Amino acid sequence: MKKVFLIIIALLQLLPSSAQENQASLLLELKKARASYQIAQQNCENDKELLEKDAISQAEFNNSKNELLTREVDYQKLLLQLISQQSYIIIEKAIKYRTSTGEKRVKVILRSTMEGNQDYLKQFENHFDVFTPEMRSGKVFNIFVSLVNIENNTIIGSPYEIRIPSIDLGKSGTVDFLLLKDVESIQIGLNYGGKKDQKNIYLEKDASAALVDIISSRFAQEADLGSTASFDLTLERFSNTDDIYQLTVLGLPRQITYDFLDGETSARLSQMRFSQGENIRKLTLKTYLPDRDDDDIVIDQPISFYAIILTKEVYNKYKDRLNDLSEEEVAGLEGGKIRLELIPSGIGRIIVKAPSLYHEITSGDSVNMQIRVMNDGTRIIDNIKITTDNPLNWKSIIEPDIISSLEPGKEEEIYVSIIPPKDANVGAQEVKIKTEAIANNRRVNTEDKTIRIQVNSARAIGWTLFLILLMVGIVVGIAFFGIKISKR
């Protein structure tokens, strides 16, 4: 027993001062328990001899034996307490990986550091009479593990807590969690042997499930023909290799072009490489829709396609037949991929055509004109209403003033009469022709046409005609008399 306590004291010297104080107190209790155990052991041996000589009764010997068992249990408790304080569970690895179904999981590998105390435990071989098999095994029992969000101390692993029944000396234990929130760093909580320990861990990446994972919060979008649609992409690398990756799209009609743009610089990319220590990149996939629909691009019909990132080796293997791959072959590609959806939407656009936007009239006259309303968009336009914005007391007659529907590329003739009042002021006036319409339950953007009307006084025009005729007469008279004089 002396050798045992020399070893215990040597271990205490390796502990911090606060721990050494606790261990010193425990050591004193251990000495008392050892003394009590040895006394009870000696008394039990003496009483056994006395029982054999019929010097004491069986009941007295049983009391002595029970006392020995009690002191032995007390001694065992203190020894276990001291040994448990030497045990320590370390986190060997915390690996984040992606399953074939797209789940994000974390695998945590724990190891008992008690293997360094094997020599220490061997020193108790001569005293195995006070050690149970569990004590001799050196196992750490009932380790509880949980994953906690560093930001708000919320458990983000499923199940919320996993129990490892025991870990042998020098052995490892593994737990596997479903990650409820995608994070790069996590706090791992350990609870065992009356100890609680937390470690903030930056998760390692596992290349066994996928090289690069792609996620998008806007994976399905609707866009008008002639416009663009942008898909945000987050790329997460599950590999530590310094590979060059090829970016491409599968299943998109050739009429729709696209660009991969860097999330920070907006530079166009066709290839990319992760920097050292970088595991996440933000990209934007921007698609450009044509102005018109056709057999491949049908309004309101979803177009499903894939955004894919492959290593150069895998890309070169399939590049000649990428667009011919089946769904099963695409799913089996060794790389990151995400299924996206684009819905082409038609747009209504109205053009108002007028042969002339300037008219000159005299007081009392009206302007009669013909205009054409054309659907220059890609969707049927409904309830086209034509109105005019007139000067005060001016009136207008529009026939027809409402067009129930107008198909793309078609146009309708509209007759417009603009009637000024009889006492309209002489000068220039403006009348605006306005259109309102609905296409696909959305208001159609229209452009107003402005008609400029010059109103002249009827009296002023009569005097002007008289003066013109007078001047013509004078010129003719001068010419006539000039000819007569020249003949004399």
Question: What is the per-residue pLDDT for 355?
Answer: 87
CATH number at residue 276: 2.60.40.2310
Structural domain ending residue among the three candidates 86, 102, 129: 86
Task: Pick from 56-65, 255-264, 270-279 the range whose average pLDDT is largest.
Answer: 255-264
Q: Can you tell me the distance from the alpha carbon of 130 to that of 126, in angstroms, rounded to the nearest whole number?
A: 10
Residue 194 forms part of a structural domain: yes
DSSP 295: S
Is residue 110 pLDDT above 90, yes or no? yes
Q: Are residues 68 and 15 in the same domain?
A: yes
Is residue 457 pLDDT above 80, yes or no? no
Q: What is the pLDDT of residues 72-86, one digit of tens each?
A: 888 777 776 666 665
Is residue 396 pLDDT above 50, yes or no? yes
Q: Are residues 194 and 233 in the same domain?
A: no
Q: Are residues 194 and 273 in the same domain?
A: no
Q: Decide: pTM greater than 0.75.
A: no
Q: Are residues 121 and 174 in the same domain?
A: yes
Nearest to 33 by CA among 57, 12, 8: 8
Q: Which has the minimum average pLDDT: 199-203, 340-344, 439-443?
A: 439-443
Question: What is the per-residue pLDDT for 208?
Answer: 55
Q: Can you tell me the distance from the alpha carbon of 315 to that of 270, in angstroms, rounded to the nearest whole number?
A: 12
State mean pLDDT over 450-464: 74
Characterise 343 by phi-psi region: left (phi > 0), alpha (psi -120 to 50), beta (else). beta
Structural domain count, the chain: 4
96: β partners: 106, 205
415: β partners: 370, 399
Residue 200 forms part of a structural domain: yes
Residue 390 forms part of a structural domain: yes
Residue 269's CB: how many other CB atoms inside 10 A? 15
- By DSSP bridging, strand 228-237 and strand 212-215 are antiparallel
- Domain span at residue 304? 212-345
Q: What is the pLDDT of residues 111-131, one digit of tens each?
A: 887 544 555 555 555 555 565
Question: What is the per-residue pLDDT for 22?
Answer: 59
Q: Are residues 191 and 217 in the same domain?
A: no
Q: Which has the minimum average pLDDT: 148-152, 160-164, 483-487?
A: 483-487
Q: Are residues 201 and 284 in the same domain?
A: no
Residue 249 forms part of a structural domain: yes
Q: Are residues 223 and 334 in the same domain?
A: yes
Nearest to 123 by CA among 90, 72, 86, 88: 86
Q: Are residues 12 and 100 in the same domain?
A: no
Q: Can you tell me the distance from the alpha carbon of 215 to that of 231, in angstroms, rounded to the nearest whole number?
A: 10
Burial 275-294 (b: 16+ CB within 10 A, else e): eeeebebebbbbbebbeebe
Q: Are residues 324 and 241 in the same domain?
A: yes
Cα–Cα separations (whole angstroms), residue 131 to 8, 12, 143, 378 = 16, 21, 22, 87
At 166, which amino acid appears? Answer: S
Q: Are residues 76 and 95 in the same domain?
A: no
Q: Give the residue, 460 or 363, on which the prediction is more confident.
A: 363
CATH number at residue 406: 2.60.40.10
The first and second tokens of residue 112, run together, are 């008992």
Is residue 422 pLDDT above 70, yes or no? yes
Residue 483 forms part of a structural domain: no
Residue 11 forms part of a structural domain: yes
Residue 463 forms part of a structural domain: no
Is residue 150 pLDDT above 70, yes or no? yes
Structural domain ending residue among the three candidates 205, 225, 240: 205
Is residue 324 pLDDT above 90, yes or no? no
Please check whether residue 431 is in contact with residue 337, taking contact to mean a CB–CB distance below 8 angstroms: no
248: pLDDT confidence band, cut at 50, 70 and 90? very high
Mean pLDDT of the chain: 82
Question: What is the per-residue pLDDT for 17?
Answer: 47
Nearest to 393 by CA among 370, 428, 418: 418
Structural domain ending residue among the three candidates 25, 55, 86: 86
- By DSSP bridging, strand 244-250 and strand 358-362 are unpaired
Q: Are residues 82 and 95 in the same domain?
A: no
Q: Are residues 132 and 192 in the same domain?
A: yes
Q: What is the pLDDT of residues 209-232, one digit of tens each?
A: 447 888 888 889 999 888 999 999
Q: Can you tell me the distance from the alpha carbon of 361 to that of 427, in angstroms, rounded to the nearest whole number?
A: 10
Question: What is the per-residue pLDDT for 294?
Answer: 86
Q: Give the residue, 292 or 109, on which the prediction is more confident.
A: 109
